Amino acid sequence: MIVSGCAALAAVAGAVILEPRAHAGTSDMIVLAPSDTAFATVCYYNHVAGASQYGVHRLELNGLPVIVHVDWTDGTEERITIEAPIGYFVFPADDAVTDLPDGEAVTVQILGGIG
């Protein structure tokens, strides 16, 4: 059973789920899922155990790549940066870079597209 701020999104058919430290038993969760209102929805859950895997994570859904950077901050949060490919954008834009406390989640949509 998935317990996080991204659980409902992870249950969407076709969702791509990444748990970088699942082997450790506690992991942040990144979900890239289909959406009825956008090209995709992205959720990042910062696990309460402080088990973040710092670095760059790439997820792809139906040919749409999304990059998620996880980095330290000066505080206790992790800085989550979500990047959409050229021609797309993260909405709301203010949440494309988020300093996320343990136990919290951020959810954004990927909009735009060339066409």
CA of residue 82 relative to chain centroid, distance: 7
Q: What is the pLDDT of residue 115?
A: 53
- Calculate mean pLDDT across residues 55-77: 93
Pick from 64, 3, 79: nearest CA to 33? 64
pLDDT in tens, 57-67: 999 999 999 99
**Structural domains of the chain, count:** 1
CB 91 within 8 A of CB 107: no
Classify residue 84: in a domain, yes or no: yes
Mean pLDDT, residues 22-50: 87
Alpha helices in 59-102 (DSSP H): none
Q: 59 in a domain, yes or no?
A: yes
- Please give the share of the chain, as a percent, with pLDDT higher than 90: 67
Q: What is the mean pLDDT of residues 85-96?
A: 96
Q: Is residue 1 part of a domain?
A: no
pLDDT tens by residue, 94-113: 999 999 998 899 999 999 97
Cα four-point dihedral sign 90, 60, 22, 15: positive
Q: Confirm whether 93 is domain-assigned.
A: yes
Look up the domain containing 22 and give its range. Answer: 7-112
